[in-house]
Structure 1
């Protein structure tokens, strides 16, 4: 759907919620963010054929920046439902959006890897032989079919099973949890990752976050990763009273 924005009009406001991305057909927009002092910092100026707001297509979190029109802007709006439909029926139409998403996610991964390398060099000397996922609650055990699951593929992604009859093309999980309204588990909730001999939990933009050994990451918390330093770790998916609680054993 094409939309027209006038000069000075705010298209996306920082900390607001939205599920749409925009492809600029003509005109220019300014991307800005408030610093800790509340001052405006300009991050970028985007023009024809460039994309903004793309993270709204895959995560339910507040917008990270404000986007305003510098002149009259004509833009094609892509909401999450349309994105999901195109992904299943005409993926070539959204390759530019996917490329940008992958680039952004790769940058995040690279920054996370570097931070982990610098901050945890001493931990990396330990040799990890096995990573085992075990149910610590009834629903978690049911999801694992009452078995221990040795994780050999990293990242190992966990999220909510879709109730849609056609499925959801945006889901990308190795373990699906059958949650019910009100949901504790987001569609793409968290992952178990390995970096050299470090194992860490990464919250993938979930709504309620993930509680790891009593520490919440993701959701309303800006920090979204936590390195596991214990042999036995408790991972709660969502709120503190979530029925999905797992033990992650590192041997």
Structure 2
């Protein structure tokens, strides 16, 4: 199911079906490169299945700027502005996407003058989330950022199981990249959560036994 603020949700099923008709469907393996920073913006991608991660380079380590799934449009800003790619996009899971050539996409926008406004709204929402992330990185300690990221992943990507909400396909390295911290520091925060029964981990999986308890733990933490 597409996210509430995805392109498909904003644009509607009919417009998205028409857009799909302008492109070709392609499959990508986990960790396969979809878009590369500084390369020409010659197409956009409409994610049909799976998840991709947007990566930015910073301070000697890659940062995950966001995870995007079904219904999200990727690479549209570079095409609309005729600028190189501003970030690298990698398949986080095996995924499928519809690839639309930049000329076809621009013609599609010309036929539907309401779409630039929709895309502008989506870009604003993404920028707002990025700004909030920067505020969190500057003002919150690592354990707080880890809790918030796990809760966000649980809401967006989690699957309800008998053991709790399972977040699959994400590693500790992914978590460290998302919260802008070293893996050792993140491991210490995860151990603390595990010792208190708020988290279970296994390979490429985080399990939140009760997200409400984790939210309560987060609210009770001192403001840093």
Give TM-score, length-normalised by structure 2: 0.41
Give TM-score, length-normalised by structure 1: 0.37
More helix by share: 2
Higher relative contact order (CA 8 A, sep 6+): 2
More strand by share: 1
Larger radius of gyration, structure 1 or 2?
Answer: 1
